[in-house]
């Protein structure tokens, strides 16, 4: 035996459960393009991105990654990666342009083709009904602060269940309603760009109600074996110090950032402290009898989107603030450590903390990581390769945190990497790249980054070397 042969193998494997789902995720407005084709009408993001000064460089999602025309190529990339699941969102204005009435069949046909292509590739489709692209006509009628929008969403959910229920076995009603309510209507940095604390709280309630009514519509139309879920971007909130004032800052952000959704959905109640915190903003009279019962319609699992933790202290925030009821009591403190191109801290411990907290607060509720990833300043080198070691390190640390949570007894059933493709990154336009597949937006050429090959290896192993 040679000296090389005698060296011990120090590599260990972090293996995930055999049934663990490995996926990637995207959103319709961020990748599809074809903004005015086959009957699609403007969404609030089409309007917002055309408003001067709202999106970096004046970028829009008119073409994006042209997924509408390159769908088969993109599914082939997923098949090469070996993923088991693909989470996509349906463009509401593509299938129901006014948010009312019958569906446009050409729009539905695109999603039929997409799901057929996925199934033929051995990939399970996971459909998200809402990833922020409200039909503009519904916004013109008042948008999410109006109860009617939630009613329309329930009807839309029924349309999609009838159209795809024979193909799609897993459904997510809403993606990150916190961002849509509080960034869209609170501080205006997302579409539709309104700045009203009262409107943001009304929107949050109507998102909850929309989720409940959609869950009921899905339950009534889908096979009993179908999975129905909700995805939240829950905040892993930490105090700057252990002072009573800083701990109260954590409580306030947890109320308006997390429990505003968690308590109605899973416990059928509003958080008492949130109602007190926001008493100068609203009396919550828009919550009607029967709403909380509908909102707490049972679901099969909770989706978690996590990117970085939040550190807070006693103080005050800039105005307008998305943190209704907390803006005069809380200031946000930059977390230490390395940062992504979004200037977000890299801290996988926050994901572990969040998963274990949810396991304690919501016993018996399965969890799925529906988004996790990082933006870096990627580029193709002269040979055409895209090397992104920082993203690989980010993903490895966060998957390690997920594995650790599972080992601690948390029921985590899957992981969806954000994102499959470089795309339109909302108010940042095309300046931020989250994809594991590089997209040259001038030519639409797709190139696997190193992180894509790394993730494909993780999927093939069912875990990662550690």
Active-site residue set: 176, 371
Q: Which helix (H) or strand (E) holds 13?
A: strand 13-15
Question: With contact defined as beta carbons under 8 Å apart, do 245 and 162 qualify?
Answer: no
Report d(CA 269, CA 255) in Å as an integer.
Answer: 13
Whole-angstrom Cα distance, residue 53 to residue 43? Answer: 18
Count Cβ atoms within 10 A of the Cβ of residue 64 and give its class: 0-12 exposed, 13-18 middle, 19 or more buried.
buried
- Rounded CA-CA distance 249/329 in Å is 7
- DSSP state, residue 342: T
What does the alpha-carbon distance between residue 348 and residue 326 come to, in Å, rounded to a whole number? 26
Question: Shortest CA distance to 147 belongs to which of 272, 267, 288, 43?
Answer: 288
- In the chain, % helix, strand, coil (3-state, to 5) comes to 40, 15, 40
Residue pair 401/54 in contact (Cβ under 8 Å)? The answer is no
Q: Cα separation of 121 and 462, whole Å? A: 19
- The answer to whether residues 415 and 370 touch, using CB atoms and an 8 Å cutoff, is no
Give yes or no for a contact between 99 and 93, defined as CB atoms under 8 angstroms apart.
yes
Taking alpha carbons only, the member of 305, 283, 272, 288 closest to residue 208 is: 288
């Amino acid at each position: 035996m040679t000296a090389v042969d005698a060296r011990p193998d120090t590599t260990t494997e972090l293996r995930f459960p055999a049934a663990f789902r490995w996926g990637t995720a995207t959103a319709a407005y961020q990748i599809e393009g074809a903004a005015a084709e086959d009957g699609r009408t403007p969404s609030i993001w089409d309007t917002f991105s055309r408003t001067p000064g709202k999106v970096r460089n004046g970028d829009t999602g008119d073409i994006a990654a042209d997924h509408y025309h390159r769908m088969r190529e993109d599914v082939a990339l997923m098949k090469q990666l070996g993923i088991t699941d693909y989470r996509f969102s349906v463009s509401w204005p593509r299938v129901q342009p006014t948010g009312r009435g019958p569906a446009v069949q050409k729009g539905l046909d695109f999603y039929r083709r997409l799901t057929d292509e996925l199934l033929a590739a051995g990939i399970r489709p996971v459909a998200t009904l809402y990833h922020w692209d409200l039909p503009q006509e519904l916004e013109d009628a008042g948008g999410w602060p109006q109860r009617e929008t939630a009613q329309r969403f329930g009807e839309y959910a029924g349309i999609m269940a009838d159209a795809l229920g024979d193909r799609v076995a897993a459904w997510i009603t809403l993606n990150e309603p916190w961002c849509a309510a509080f960034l869209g209507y609170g501080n205006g940095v997302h579409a539709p760009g309104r700045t009203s604390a009262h409107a943001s709280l009304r929107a949050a309630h109507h998102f909850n109600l929309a989720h409940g009514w959609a869950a009921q519509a899905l339950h009534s139309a889908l096979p009993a074996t179908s999975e129905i879920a909700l995805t939240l971007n829950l905040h892993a909130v930490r105090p700057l110090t252990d002072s009573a004032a800083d701990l109260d800052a954590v409580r306030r952000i947890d109320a308006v950032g997390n429990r505003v959704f968690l308590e109605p959905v899973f416990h059928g109640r509003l958080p008492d402290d949130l109602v007190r915190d926001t008493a100068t903003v609203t009396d919550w009279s828009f919550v009607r009898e029967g709403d909380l019962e509908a909102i707490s319609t049972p679901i099969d699992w909770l989706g978690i989107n996590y990117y970085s933790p939040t550190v807070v202290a006693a103080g005050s925030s800039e105005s307008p603030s998305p943190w209704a009821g907390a803006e005069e009591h809380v200031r946000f403190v930059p977390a230490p450590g390395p940062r992504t191109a979004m200037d977000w801290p890299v801290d996988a411990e926050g994901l572990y903390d969040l998963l274990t907290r949810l396991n304690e607060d919501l016993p018996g509720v399965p969890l799925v990581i529906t988004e996790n990833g990082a933006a870096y300043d990627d580029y193709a080198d002269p040979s055409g390769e895209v090397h992104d070691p920082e993203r690989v390190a980010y993903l490895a640390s966060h998957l390690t945190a997920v594995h650790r949570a599972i080992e601690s007894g948390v029921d985590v059933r899957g992981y969806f990497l954000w994102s499959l493709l470089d795309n339109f990154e909302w108010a940042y336009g095309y300046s931020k790249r989250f994809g594991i597949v590089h997209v040259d937006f001038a030519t639409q050429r797709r190139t696997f980054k190193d992180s894509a090959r790394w993730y494909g290896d993780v999927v093939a192993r069912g875990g990662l070397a550690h």
